[in-house]
Structure 1
Amino acid sequence: MTALRFECLDAESDQYAVGPTVRFKLKVVNRTPDRVHSIALRIQIRMEPRRRRYSPEESAKLGDLFGDPSRYAETLNPMQLAEIGIMVPSFTGEIEVPVDMPLTYDMEVASTKYFHNLDDGDVPLLMLFSGTIFYSTDAGVQFGQVPWHEEAEYKLPVAIWKEAMEQHFGGRAWILLRKDKLDALAAYRSERTIPSWEETVERLLKEAGVDG
C-alpha cells in the first residue's frame, strides 16, 4: 500500500509552449518502500484570493469581481483556475514531475481578469489531487486511489503569469464580442477606412473623451 505526499516546488513561464503556459515542478513522495509503476493523476488548482492583500489601486480594478472592499469577507471566495491530468512515471521513494497549466487571455474568464488587474505579489494556490496509483507489492501489481485529502499549497508570483502573457501576446490582449457588435465595429472601421483595429478603438475612445 502506498502513502503519497505532494509538494509544489517551483513554477516558471514555459517559453517554448505553443501558448501561454505556467509549468509547475511537482514533487511526489511515496512514504512506503513499494515501487510505484505509474499514477494517473488529476490536479485541481484553485486560487484563494482571501489569502493576500490588495492595494487601493488593485481593489478599484477588481471591483467587478469582488465588489467594494467592505464586502471582501463575503466575496473573496476560492476560484477555479485549472484542472489538469498527467501521468506520473515509475519511481521508488520520490520523483519530480512537470505540470503544465495552459493560460488564456480571455478577459471574460474570471481568473484572467483577476491576474490581469494585480500589480505584483503572489497569488495563493491550492492544489487538490485525485487519481489512480499502480504499484508493486509481494503479492504482485496492485492499484489504489489517491486520497481526496491530499493537497499542496503554492504562492504563484504574479510576475510569472505576466511573463507568460508577454511572451505570447507582446503587450496586447483580446476581448470577446457578440458577432453583431463586431459587425457594427467592422462597419465603423470600414466607413472611415481606419487601417487597424487598435486605431479603431483609439478613435472611439477619443470620441468618448477618454484618454487611451
Structure 2
Amino acid sequence: MYLTQEKVAVMGAAGAIGSNIVQDLLSTKTACRIAMYDPFAQGLEGAAEEIYHCAYPGAEVSWTADVKEALTGADYVISSGGAPRKEGMTREDLLKGNCEIARGLGEDIKHYAPNAKFVVVIFNPADITGLTALVYSGLAPGRVSTLAALDSTRLQTKLAQHFAVPQERVTGCRTYGGHGEQMAVFEDGIVVDGVPFAEIMAGKQVNGKSLSAEEWQEVQTHIRQGGARII
C-alpha cells in the first residue's frame, strides 16, 4: 500500500538525483504513479528500464520526453532538472542558466499542472530557482519548496563528528540564506548531547571534547563550502 496513488512528475529523471528520487518514492511506499521526464530521451529510457527491473508491486511508472505529457494531471512535481555544478563553479555561476530552466518549469506547471498540490525544486541555486519557479507557476507560496534543510543537516553532521556523538544527539542546527558562501550559520538553539551550545562555547566539554572559537569558525566555513567540497 502506497501513501498516495496520485500522480507524481519527476523532472530530470534521467540524472542520478532524479532516478534515485523515483526509486525512493517507490521503495519507501510513498507513491506508485510516477511520470519520469527528461529531454534526454535515450538516457531516460535506460533510467526507466532500471526502475522496471526492480519490479515494485503496484507501480505505474511511465517515461516521456514530452513535458506536457509528464505534467498533465500531476498532483506533485519534483524537479532536479537543472544544470549540475561543476568543479570550480560557484552557485552564482549557475544562476542565469538554471533560473531560465526554473522559469520554464514554472510556466510549464502553470500551463499543464495548475492544480499541483506541491512542487519541490532541488537544482541550484535552489533558494533562487525555487522562487523563480514559484513566481512563474502562479501557485500559492505554500505549495512550492526547495531543499531547505540540507545545510542545517551538514552542520549537524559536522558537530556530531567533532564531538564523536551520534548525529541524532545534535539538535537545533539552523542555517539561513544562500546555499553557499553568503549563508548564515546560527549557534543559538544548538544542543549537543544535552549540552546547550552557549555552555560549550564557554568551555564546557562534551564527550571529553571542547570547541574553541577558532574551531567554530572552521566549522562554519566547512558548512558554507560543503557543496564545492562534495563536487
TM-score range normalised by the length of the shorter chain? under 0.3
TM-score computed with the length of structure 2 as normaliser: 0.24
- Normalized per residue, the structure richer in helix is 2
Q: Rg: which structure is higher?
A: 1
RCO (CA 8 Å, sep 6+): is it higher in 1 or 2? 1
